[in-house]
Amino acid sequence: MSKKTCYSLFMASNFDFLENIDKELYLNIEEAQKLFRDEYFNQSMVQIRIFAEKMSKKILNSPDNLTFDDTLNCLKDKIKTDKEQEFIEDLFFIKREGNKCAHGEDVSAITVLEAIKRAYEASINYASAKTKSSKFNKLNFDDTLLITTKPRSENTIVEQYVKLAQEKKEELLNSKQSEFSAKVEKKEDEAVKIKKTISPEKQRIKDKIKKAKKNLKQNVNKTTKPKKPKKQDNKRLYKLIAFILFVTISLFFLTKMIFLF
């Protein structure tokens, strides 16, 4: 068994090496890990951001009133090696995700775990620069140690939280599906009730419209037949004509006789 393995058996935290180098930073990151283990992921992310901001200011030896952005930008201008580049990228990642939480956005367990790992890599670089020693570069992050404070087991923290996230996702989907189904069923019941209420009235209106169309069609197609004169009316007409002729002739002869005498 190697010295590194023996050492890991007695570790309670991945950041134990940081305790003797910077007590303040060690306590900050320990609090973040505790919040993570208790599943307060947003609070853990905010605490990791505080840890990263303090670390960046300690490296730059900047005043407290200098913002995190300004501190990181100053460090960015001083980059000379790939390791320094990775160090700044880790801090920028932590700042970005921490700002999201500070503004009310929820963060996943996987994202917080990534932030803790980046904080770990940043701490390795910080410890190496502080002590001028490369021995810390041999250390590796143990994700199971983070959650159990025991050495690595077969099931890693990533697997545990991926499984937990999947279960919560399925539970949420089932809940939303149930709510949606209940709403759809309620709407359908309301539609049936409304249909039953207005159906008789609609039927009466349809019957009236149908009857009106039928009457209109009959009136349009109906042909007007000329009335035949009645026989009695013809007799009266003939009598009237005969009377008029009789009167006319009588007047003619009467007039003629008057002129003769």
Which residue from 257, 18, 12 is spatially nearest to 125, judged by alpha carbons? 18
What is the predicted pLDDT for the residue at 66?
A: 84
Which residue from 64, 65, 126 is spatially nearest to 90, judged by alpha carbons? 126
Confidence of residue 213 (pLDDT cuts 50, 70, 90): confident
Any idea how long the chain is? 261
What is the number of other CB atoms lying within 10 angstroms of the CB of residue 29? 27
Share of the chain above pLDDT 70, in %: 80
71 burial level (CB within 10 Å; 0-12, 13-18, 19+): buried
Question: At residue 17, does pLDDT exceed 60?
Answer: yes
What is the predicted pLDDT for the residue at 161?
A: 63
- Comparison of pLDDT for 198 and 15, the residue scoring more: 15
Confidence of residue 21 (pLDDT cuts 50, 70, 90): very high
Confidence of residue 170 (pLDDT cuts 50, 70, 90): confident
* Residues 134-155: tens digit of each pLDDT: 888 888 999 888 888 776 544 4
User: What is the DSSP code (8-state) at residue 178?
Assistant: H
Q: What are the structural domain ranges in the chain?
A: 3-153, 155-196
Instruction: Tell me the helices (H) and strands (E) count for the chain, helix number first.
Output: 10, 0
* Residues 92-137: tens digit of each pLDDT: 999 999 999 888 889 999 999 999 999 999 999 999 988 988 888 8
The pair of three-digit structure tokens given for residue 83, joined into one six-digit string:
């390791």
Given 3.40.50, 1.20.120, 1.20.950, 3.40.1000, which CATH number is that of 3-153?
1.20.120
What is the predicted pLDDT for the residue at 154?
A: 43
Q: Which residues contact 32 (CB under 8 A, 6 or more apart)?
A: 44, 45, 47, 48, 51, 116, 119
Question: At residue 202, does pLDDT exceed 90?
Answer: no
Share of the chain above pLDDT 90, in %: 30
Beta strand ranges found along 50-167 (DSSP E): none
What is the predicted pLDDT for the residue at 230?
A: 56
Separation CA 37–CA 15 (nearest Å): 15
- The mean predicted confidence, pLDDT, of the chain is 80
Confidence of residue 9 (pLDDT cuts 50, 70, 90): very low
What is the predicted pLDDT for the residue at 198?
A: 58
What is the predicted pLDDT for the residue at 196?
A: 63
Greatest mean pLDDT among 4-8, 18-22, 148-152, 158-162 lies in: 18-22
Amino acid symbol at 13: S
Confidence of residue 16 (pLDDT cuts 50, 70, 90): very high
Q: Across residues 43-57, what is the average pLDDT?
A: 94
